[in-house]
Amino acid sequence: MLGSMFSGISGLVSNSQAINVVGNNIANVNTIGFKGSRATFSDLLYQSINGTAGASQVGRGSSLTTVDTQFAQGSFESTTEPTDLAIGGKGFFVVKRPEGDMTEYYTRAGQFRFDKDGNLANPTGLILQGKAIDQTTQKATGVDTDVIISQKPSDPQITTAVDMTVNLQSNAEWKGSVDSSLGGTGTSVASATNTLGKWPIAGTYTAVTAAKTIPGTAINLFTFAGATKTISNVAAVFGVFSVGDTFTVTGAAAGPPTNNATFTIASIAADLKSVTVAETVTNEAASAGPIINYNGLDVTVQRVGPDGNPIGAAITKSEAITTGVSITDFGGLGIDITPAATIAAGTQTFNISGFDVDDPTATANYSSAITVYDSNGQSHVVTAYFRKSNIDTSSNNSIWEWMAVVGAGDAATGENTLAESGDLIFNNAGVLQGEGSNHLISFDFTTPAQQNQPINLSFGTLSAISGGTTKDPLTQYPIDSATNYQAQDGFPPGTLTSVSVDAEGIISGHYSNGQIIDQYQITLANFGDPVGLTKEGNNLFSANNKTGEAYKYAPGVSGTGKINPNSLEQSNVDLATEFVKMIVAQRGFQANSRVITTSDEILQELMNLKR
């Protein structure tokens, strides 16, 4: 009978331990990352006895075999903290104590906060482990280390490239002017104005007025037919003539035409190789070789850039002029010239203005400004000005000038500075034909920045920022000028404003300059037998001989779960299940206590037999 009492006692012990496990589970029903346990019983060694039918066994009771940790996934609670982390799947966060303690602990509780030193630590001060991200390769490299987010500012990045795409209004007004040096006593050009609808080439103009002579002895200038006198092959000798041009015939050796007679051109043949002079001639005898003189004008323009330096070769145009008769679009240069009342030989110089660095807004059709950064992270404004320059009458292409200007407040010189200029050529469909690729420009910004800072300026093609990816180029359409796209690759230093964590465990710092810098990747640990982990309290586990060394991976690699930021994993304890287990353990305890009391009653009856 004593054996049954000891069996009952073992049952009491086993079930009381089961109630302890259930009680611990229920106590931690609200513990973040807690994993519930399960008590497992086994029967004890049996006693062999002999019966009439042979040997038999009688049990000696039960014992607690194991208390296993249940690693089922707990539910997630959403939070407002980006450093509240939950693992969706297998794995443990790796944490270490500060101050050089090499012991690793493992946890599912992802309540992490930054301490005063920038360590990402749990509530007990253990620091989360991860791999630092190489800022060149953007890969997590090296061994696991403490996750520390420094409060130091992020480094600035110098601007090396600017992309800009604009539409330039094709029918924009001309922004130039002709100076007032024309006219006056002894001059032959009274005024010059821009031709309506044309954009004169900016530059220095030299007008030479002289009596042009066509020698009559070298070629047969005259033929006589009826009442008209025809001058042949004139265009091949000099210039282009117009109806109304007047000529004086001199030096006739004999016969008509009369010496010093004046003739007026009445018509010009279509091929411009013969001129008919309206003059009735009665004597048609052949001339011995007259000479024709007429008033002509040579205009030479030397185009200059916004910096005042000559651009390209000088252009010379020649035309005959008549007193008081204006010439429209002289030589296709985009200017109208009005001769003086009295034409006199002489030279006049005048300027047609273009872009003025000192007054850029008034001398450009459109501008687009962009902020760039020097080697010190200081911001500067660079403005691209666009000015309608000229129309190439031979191809009908439109030419625009662009100018990159640094304002007085940002330039090392302390005044508006032209960094570079160039041409943009559009065909008659408004499509950019050239000069869209990168222009390497050197800028001198205010000290202490690096001088001669090189910046690639690209007008939409062969983008310097996108590594050669073609973007929409500049256009020239008859709508308002507008900037469609602009970008640059520099930025100033920035202060840390927030931290984020993604599903791959990448911890990124967000800075006031708009930069997002990846700094660490969280390491997750896994085990072949996680059930065997030793519980250390404070939601911590430690490895032992049974579990072996931890396998460490990035989140989502080799079976580890991914990270859920702004979330915490709740306890996986199910109260309904625990209450059922508690009832079963209670009933087991009660039944075993009845075994003991029943055995005691039987022993009592046995003791009463001797009375």
Whether 567 and 84 have beta carbons less than 8 Å apart is answered as yes
Task: Tell me whether residue 179 is in a domain.
Answer: no
Task: Tell me whether residue 102 is in a domain.
Answer: yes
Task: Tell me whether residue 96 is in a domain.
Answer: yes
Which of 439, 463, 488 is the last residue before a domain boundary? 488
Task: Tell me whether residue 284 is in a domain.
Answer: yes
Nearest to 355 by CA among 299, 399, 296: 399
According to the model, what pLDDT value does residue 403 have? 94
Nearest to 388 by CA among 403, 374, 373, 398: 398
Number of structural domains in the chain: 4
**In a shared domain, residues 200 and 348:** yes
Task: Tell me whether residue 22 is in a domain.
Answer: yes
DSSP 8-state class, residue 447 = T
DSSP 8-state class, residue 596 = H
Task: Tell me whether residue 122 is in a domain.
Answer: yes
Task: Tell me whether residue 177 is in a domain.
Answer: no
According to the model, what pLDDT value does residue 467 have? 56
**In a shared domain, residues 469 and 510:** no
CA 203 to CA 106: how far, in whole Å? 79
Which of 317, 352, 387 is the last residue before a domain boundary? 352
**In a shared domain, residues 311 and 375:** no
Which stretches in the chain have pLDDT values below 50? 215-221, 224-227, 236-238, 251-256, 259, 270-273, 279-289
Nearest to 355 by CA among 394, 397, 311: 311
**In a shared domain, residues 343 and 210:** yes
SS3 assignment, position 530: helix
SS3 assignment, position 260: coil
DSSP 8-state class, residue 491 = B
Whether 230 and 223 have beta carbons less than 8 Å apart is answered as yes
Task: Tell me whether residue 180 is in a domain.
Answer: no
Residue 25, domain extent: 2-63+573-608
Whether 328 and 336 have beta carbons less than 8 Å apart is answered as yes
**In a shared domain, residues 254 and 373:** no
**In a shared domain, residues 581 and 602:** yes
Asked whether the CA dihedral 114, 523, 565, 539 is positive or negative, the reply is negative
Residue type, 3: G
User: CB within 8 A of 136, min separation 6: which ones?
Assistant: none
Asked whether the bond before 448 is cis by omega within 30 degrees of 0, the reply is: yes
Which of 318, 352, 386 is the last residue before a domain boundary? 352
The per-residue DSSP string of 535-588 comes to EEETTEEE--TTT-SPEEE-TTSTTBPEEEETEEEPP---HHHHHHHHHHHHHH
Q: Which residues of 468-479 are buried (b: 16+ CB within 10 A; e: fewer)?
A: eeebebbbbeee
**In a shared domain, residues 439 and 527:** no
Phi, psi of 290 (to 5 degrees): -75, 165
Output 243-246 pairs: Cβ under 8 A, ≥24 positions apart.
243/267, 243/268, 244/322, 244/325, 245/294, 245/320, 245/322, 246/294, 246/295, 246/322
CA Rg value for the chain: 50
According to the model, what pLDDT value does residue 604 have? 82
**In a shared domain, residues 50 and 118:** no
Helix, strand, coil share of the chain (percent; to 5):
10, 40, 45
Phi, psi of 371 (to 5 degrees): -90, 130
Average pLDDT of every residue of the chain: 83
**In a shared domain, residues 206 and 342:** yes
**In a shared domain, residues 413 and 280:** no
According to the model, what pLDDT value does residue 95 have? 97
Q: Which residues of 241-266 are buried (b: 16+ CB within 10 A; e: fewer)?
A: beeebebbbebbeeebbeeebebebe
Report the DSSP pairing between strands 62-69 and 54-58.
Answer: unpaired
SS3 assignment, position 189: strand
**In a shared domain, residues 427 and 470:** yes
Phi, psi of 381 (to 5 degrees): -100, 125
DSSP 8-state class, residue 532 = G
According to the model, what pLDDT value does residue 254 have? 42
**In a shared domain, residues 292 and 384:** no
What is this structure's pTM?
0.70
According to the model, what pLDDT value does residue 252 have? 43
According to the model, what pLDDT value does residue 554 have? 96
What Cα–Cα distance (Å) separates residue 277 from each residue in 228, 244, 263, 280, 294? 7, 10, 6, 9, 13
Give, to the nearest 10 degrees, the angle between helix 575-608 and helix 2-27.
160
CATH code for the domain of 434: 2.60.98.20
Vertex 551: Cα angle to 547 and 553 (nearest 5):
150
According to the model, what pLDDT value does residue 251 have? 45
